[in-house]
């Protein structure tokens, strides 16, 4: 395994989309081409909504998300009004009344917002949509500031899934990443969530953090499994200090676990979780067998998009708010990352989009292959004639030689040992990554 880690530990995407954001072809993108892609395809009115709520009261230094640090809560209502204005623009574009299948509140810290402000935002959004019975509404909560009122208010609006960012319980690691919260706090909010009827409570853990030892990971998983959350996201820390606006410049590679230790942290954690009955799902995720995510994985209905793994599949996913990314299946569009620019576009009655990508025929073929690999650990090799010149078969033959996958009846199946290298296997299909050389590192390491 150590030889494979050395061989495959290279910078690589996490494939929440294909093409990945750094390789979008902005020359073919415009607001009008994005709108046209939204109106393309089948006639389904079903949509998913991602709402980016960027504000945080303090900076967590492990985080590379788009956020704005402030303790001034008067920023809440102007931001909500801006998001609602953006949504009204999309209602005109969609023309027909949308069927709202899924909502996810991400950030930033969604629970930075007052529950009454969230209620105003969500009730206004929902009032403009048709609401089916099989909805999926979720939010990301900070254990330190998610209140009983948050849980009660969001539950009354149909939310039944919540994800809490835990990361690690060792105080030394918590100080390094500026995310300090006690086990007692996490236990309390987990129990309160269940009391309010949240059918799926998830905890996020990260391995490979600065100052983090193998013993830290073991201890954190022991504590986590005392509470038995329905889902556990067990992420690899993505060290991307060159990304603007994050706090990762406060430590460097010498403070991080080695690639060998980092892999050991994951493999040990995986064994511990499986011994407790969790099923490994896709990349970085575990769920109890009765959880919807585990069922979707077993029935091959699991989906992955910019919100992560989901049981809900809609061709249209609209991202509202600063830096949010939308997906029409045929195109991607990202809003301005700068809050001032986001507000300025809306003030001029323009969609606050800044860049995007319209997928061509080859992109759509590769996108499906990578999505299948990320969700099901298998994909067919059909319809790849358009990209045979890329040497995909040679790359796959090497993975097969390393016992990471098998190829039978024109189908790739990732072996258990290959799951740790799923990002590398997907990279074999990545036309745009292969075609574009870059001198700067764009992605975190795959291991």
pLDDT, one tens digit per residue, over 287-308 is 999 999 999 999 999 999 888 8
For 112-134, the pLDDT digits (tens) are 999 999 999 999 999 999 999 88
| 15, 28: one domain | no
Q: Is 179 annotated as a binding residue?
A: yes
Residue 3 lies in a domain: yes
Question: Residues 336-354: what's their mean pLDDT?
Answer: 97
The answer to whether 139 is annotated as binding is: no
User: For 307-335, how does the pLDDT look when each residue is reduced to its tens digit (9 = 90+)?
Assistant: 889 998 888 999 999 999 999 999 999 99
Q: Name the domain boundary from 266, 293, 317.
A: 317
State the pLDDT confidence band at 241, using cuts at 50, 70 and 90: low
| 236 shares a domain with 88 | yes
**From the CB of residue 75, how many other CB atoms can be counted at a distance below 10 Å?**
16
Q: What is the CATH number of the domain that holds 370?
A: 1.10.10.920
Is residue 316 within 8 A of residue 95, CB to CB? The reply is no
Q: Per the domain annotation, does 137 fall within a domain?
A: yes
Is 82 known to sit in a ligand binding site? no
Domain closes at, from 261, 282, 317: 317
Does 42 share its domain with 174?
yes
106 is in an annotated binding site: no
Residue 82 within any structural domain of the chain: yes
Residues 267, 404, single domain; the answer is no
Looking at the 3D structure of the chain, how many domains does it have? 2
Q: Does 325 reside within a domain?
A: no
Residue 61 domain flag: yes
- Domain assignment present for residue 334? The answer is no
- Which pLDDT score, from 0 to 100, does residue 437 have? 61
For residue 231, the enclosing domain spans 24-317
Q: Tell me: is residue 268 an annotated ligand-binding position.
A: no
Do 1 and 71 reside in the same domain of the chain?
no
Confirm or deny that 438 is annotated as ligand binding. no
60 is in an annotated binding site: yes
Phi-psi sector, 278: left (phi>0), alpha (psi -120 to 50), beta = beta
107 assigned to a ligand binding site? yes
The Cβ of residue 402 has, within 10 Å, a number of other Cβ atoms equal to: 16
pLDDT at 385: 66
301 is in an annotated binding site: no
Report yes or no on 273 lying in a domain: yes
pLDDT at residue 439, as a whole number: 47
- Determine if residue 129 is labeled as part of a ligand binding site: no
Q: Is 93 known as a binding-site position?
A: no
Nearest C-alpha neighbor of 230 from the set 260, 194, 195: 194
* 13 and 71, same domain (yes or no): no
Q: Is 375 annotated as a binding residue?
A: no
Residue 101 lies in a domain: yes
pLDDT at 259: 83
- pLDDT tens across 252-273, in order? 678 899 888 998 999 999 999 9
- Asked whether residue 240 carries a pLDDT value surpassing 80, the answer given is no
Domain boundary among 265, 283, 317: 317
- pTM assigned to the model: 0.91
Residues listed for the chain: 447
| pLDDT over threshold 70, residue 440 | no
How high is the mean pLDDT of the chain? Answer: 90
CA 361 vs CA 14, 132, 387: distances in Å: 22, 33, 11
């Amino acid at each position: 395994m150590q030889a494979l880690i050395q061989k495959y530990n290279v910078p690589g995407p996490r494939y929440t989309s294909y093409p990945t954001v750094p390789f979008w072809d902005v020359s073919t993108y415009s607001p009008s081409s994005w709108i046209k892609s939204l109106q393309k395809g089948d006639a389904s009115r079903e949509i998913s909504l991602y709402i980016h709520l960027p504000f945080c009261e303090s900076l967590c230094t492990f985080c590379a998300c788009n956020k704005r640090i402030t303790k001034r809560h008067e920023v809440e209502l102007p931001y909500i009004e801006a998001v609602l204005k953006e949504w009204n623009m999309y209602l005109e574009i969609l023309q027909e009344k949308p069927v709202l299948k899924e909502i996810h509140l991400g950030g930033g810290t969604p629970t930075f917002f007052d529950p009454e402000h969230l209620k105003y935002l969500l009730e206004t959004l929902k009032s403009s949509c048709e609401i089916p019975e099989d909805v999926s509404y979720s939010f990301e909560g900070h254990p330190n500031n998610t209140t009983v009122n948050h849980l009660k208010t969001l539950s009354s609006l149909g939310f039944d899934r919540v994800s809490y960012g835990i990361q690690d319980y060792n105080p030394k690691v918590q100080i390094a990443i500026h995310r300090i919260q006690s086990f007692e706090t996490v236990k309390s909010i987990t129990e309160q969530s269940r009391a309010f009827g949240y059918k799926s409570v998830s905890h996020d853990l990260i391995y490979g953090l600065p100052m983090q030892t193998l013993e830290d990971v073991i201890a954190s998983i022991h504590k986590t499994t005392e509470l038995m959350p329905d889902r556990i996201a067990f992420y690899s820390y993505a060290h991307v200090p060159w990304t603007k606006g994050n706090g990762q410049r406060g430590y460097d590679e010498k403070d991080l676990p080695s690639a060998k230790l980092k892999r050991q942290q994951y493999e040990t954690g995986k064994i511990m979780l499986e011994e407790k009955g969790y099923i490994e799902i896709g990349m970085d995720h575990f769920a109890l067998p009765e959880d919807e995510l585990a069922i979707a994985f077993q029935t091959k209905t699991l989906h992955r998009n910019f919100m992560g793994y989901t049981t809900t599949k809609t061709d249209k996913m609209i991202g509202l708010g600063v830096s949010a990314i939308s997906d029409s299946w045929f195109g991607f569009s990202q809003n301005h990352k700068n809050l001032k620019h986001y507000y300025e576009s809306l003030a001029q009655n323009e969609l606050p989009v800044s860049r995007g990508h319209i997928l061509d025929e080859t992109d759509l073929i590769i996108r499906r292959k990578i999505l299948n690999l990320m969700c099901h650990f298998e994909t067919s090799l059909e319809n790849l004639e358009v990209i045979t010149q890329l040497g995909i078969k040679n790359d796959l033959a090497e993975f097969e030689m390393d016992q990471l996958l098998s190829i039978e009846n024109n189908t790739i199946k990732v072996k258990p040992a290959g799951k740790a290298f799923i990002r590398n296997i997907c990279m074999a299909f990545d036309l745009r990554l292969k075609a574009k050389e870059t001198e700067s590192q764009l992605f975190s390491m795959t291991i």
